[in-house]
A and B are shown apart, each in its own frame.
Chain A
Amino acid sequence: MLVVVTVVFLLIHLIPGDPVAVILGPEANAQQIEDARRELGLDRPLHEQLLRFYARLLRGDLGRSYFLDRPVTQALWERAEPTLVLMLSALVVAVLIGVPSGIVAGAYQGSWWDRGLMTLALLGVCVPGFWLSLNFIYLFSVRLGWLPVAGYASVFQDPVAAGRYMLLPAVSLGFNQSALIARIARSCMIEVLRQDYIRTARAKGLAERSVIFLHAFRNALVPVVTVIGITMAILIGGAVVTEIVFNIPGLGRLIISAILRRDYPVVQGVVLLTAAAYMLINLMVDVVYAYIDPRIRYA
């Protein structure tokens, strides 16, 4: 985590361009720029800025945004809801499509179901998510007029509007990931069905259905959980792009506009938050993994 924090800090401060010049606009004179730099602490040497950054971070203080006129933590908090809602709904879409199609394709390996689903999954891996979103917008919003083109409504204030706004982003973001999940689920299923205990289950005369659902399914699920964790991590990055396409006021749009305005503290905040989320997800995957598969025990 220390490495990550340092990398983020250095990366951000190496961005060429002076934030002060951007904030004050082209008409500011040299004296005003100098004052503003002192006020923001940008006139100190880099290592001193870095040490102050560590110290503040330990107190949970990410600094103030240069532009939004509020603490970065508050800005992150305000923008987190849309991104979280988007990621969770995309994850639901990905799992709902991915796991069943992978299990079916793996259980009936070589059948037409298998071939059709896997061709679809290959396409799903390769179709760029942001292009898919544009096609969805054209088809469902522009042509058919069923759903709004872009925008966002809070789930807590207006659930129906929120659903209508969120449907297209969630499906286009989740579709790529569902393809990935389906491919992994299929190969896990195939792997599991080759095991001895499956042969035993068949030999004792169990119906194929209960062999697949009671014996194979649970065991095939173990690696799938890891993939779902990876999916969550990829969704963080994908959410940035999806938010831009659908004009969702989340963390992705926050960081893009912050980069364009050289709003260092905000860029730092978003990158740190996502890196922390990323690590937390990986930790959760390990825990869930140990819970599902009793053979794994951490010393």
Chain B
Amino acid sequence: MPEGVAVSESAVLAGAPVTAAGARTRLVRRILKNRSVVIGGSVFLLLALVALFADALAPYNPTRLYPGQRLKPPSMQNLLGTDEFGRDIASLVLHGSRVSLLVGGVTMILTSLGGVVIGLIAGYYRRLDIVIMRLMDGLMAFPAILLAIALMAVRGPGVWNVIFSLSIVYLPRTAMLIRSTALSVRELDYVLAAQALGRGGLAIAFRHILPNCMGPLLVQGTFIFAYAVLAEAILGFLGVGVPPYVPSWGNVIASGKNVIREAFWVSAFPGLALTIAGLSLNLLGDGLRDTLDPRLRRE
């Protein structure tokens, strides 16, 4: 039994919230020793800062059109060149990070919250389990991107509609993960002890089972963040994501597709940004999984 979990279990058993401070600092220290967590995390942090200060960093207004500056190659004036409307690519890429991180972050939060509620209910109340899981199976029966496209067709373009659609698409994965973790945890003795102490079902599910699902949830959340960022770009690229006038990486790549013969830089740089974002999140997720998953830990 790994150290962190063991300590929190006894804390939970005593009815106290999980505040085993010593164990927690040790856990944080171990996570920070992982190289991919550090690299992925810092790159991601940098991206978040860029998104936050995009206004100050961007040399031009990304939505302002300069018809005289169409399709200029990268130069000192426009570091990454301009697109077919004369918009500055560097400014578009900087501002595009906002849409990507907003969609990724909110989708991660929504799928985690929804997944926890659905997963715990399914994992703890066996009768509801069958109904809920059939429904999740139904949603999982579609290829993710196809379901997202279909949902976007229902909702129409818009940032919040993208978030809504992607949350529906990725919700079943988190719900199933939480359910399977809950199913294995609920057989442990301390849950029996809590039941013997007269705790109600929901209290046990949320206060005693949930803390043990946090590790897998965090790992899964990081990967869903990465999927959502990519899926947002794909939807934008297909023309069914955020509206075309909003600077997002997918939209800029889509406009670059039409001018690829004359101006490769229009699609190249936002794609590079997308790759870097995906890389940092995947590194972070891999690293977190290695440190948080007790089965994979090499010590």
Taking beta carbons and an 8 Å cutoff, which residues of A are in contact with B?
Answer: 3-4, 7, 11-12, 14-16, 122-123, 125-128, 130-131, 134-135, 137-138, 142, 233-234, 236-238, 240-241, 244-245, 255-256, 259, 267, 271, 274-275, 278-279
Contact = CB atoms under 8 A, between A and B. Distances in A.
A206 B268 CA distance: 50
B282 interface: yes
A138 B253 CA distance: 13
Given A238-B145, A259-B240, A128 B274 contact: yes
A239 B253 CA distance: 18
Contact of B271 (A7, A123, A135): A135
A138 B264 contact: yes
A275 B141 CA distance: 6
B137 A271 contact: no
A14 B282 CA distance: 35
Given A131-B253, A131-B271, A126 B282 contact: yes
Contacts, number: 109
Contact of A236 (B146, B153, B286): B146
Q: Chain B, interface size: which category?
A: 35 or more
Q: Secondary structure at chain B's binding surface: helix, strand, loop or mixed?
A: helix
Nearest to B230: A128
Contacts of B164: none
B135 to A, nearest CB: 7
Interface string B264-294: 1001100100110011001100100000000
Interface in B220-275: 226, 230, 233-234, 237-238, 240, 253, 256-257, 260-261, 264, 267-268, 271, 274-275
Contact of B279 (A15, A126, A131): A126
Interface of B: 134-135, 137-139, 141-146, 149-151, 153-154, 156, 226, 230, 233-234, 237-238, 240, 253, 256-257, 260-261, 264, 267-268, 271, 274-275, 278-279, 282-283, 286
A171 to B, nearest CB: 17
Contacts of B234: 128, 130, 241
Contact of A271 (B142, B238, B274): B142
